[in-house]
Structures are given as C-alpha cells and as structure tokens.
Structure 1
Amino acid sequence: MKNVEKERVEIRMPKTIIKKLDQYQKENGLSTRTATILELLRKGLEK
C-alpha cells in the first residue's frame, strides 16, 4: 500500500471480538491487529 493516503480511525469493540481477532492474527501469521482488521475488512468487502 505504498503512496496511499491513510487516516487514523479509533474503534472500540467487545473483548470477545478482540480475542477472535488475536486468534485469527496468530493463525494467519499477520504482524499486527491493524493488518488483521484490514485483511478481514477487505475480505468482507469483496463479497
């Protein structure tokens, strides 16, 4: 994502979802929660 303008977004979510995000991150070898959230958003938007 080089040369892409980015904007900071703050979100709050239930701890149960955070746990699922962290598990997905670990299972898929993603480096950060941000990368995990972006991947899942992209997958959801592709549908």
Structure 2
Amino acid sequence: FDFLVDHGFLRVGDESGKRKSYKLTKKGQNLLVELQEVTEMIQVPFI
C-alpha cells in the first residue's frame, strides 16, 4: 500500500488504538472508476 499512499491514491487513516487503515483519496476514487471502465471494455461476453 506504500506505493498507493506515496502517489496520493490512498491516505492512512487516523483512528488511534486501531490497526493501520487506509482511505481512498479523490485521486484514488478516480483511478478506481477508470479501472472499472477498462474492465468493462475488455470483458469478452460468453457465448
């Protein structure tokens, strides 16, 4: 997850007393949408 944090796609949650958590940034949300669109484009329908 360090790569995603370092590049601004995730941020580390700040909930003290709990294990490390991550939250999507706006940049991360945009990437997720783009990846979902690519997935839809490359899916081959089963015949």
Structure number, greater radius of gyration: 2
Could you say which structure has the higher helix fraction?
1
For the superposition of Structure 1 and Structure 2, which TM-score range results when normalised by the shorter chain?
Answer: 0.3 to 0.5
Task: Tell which has more relative contact order, 1 or 2 (C-alpha 8 A, sep 6+).
Answer: 2
TM-score by length of 2: 0.35
Could you say which structure has the higher strand fraction?
2
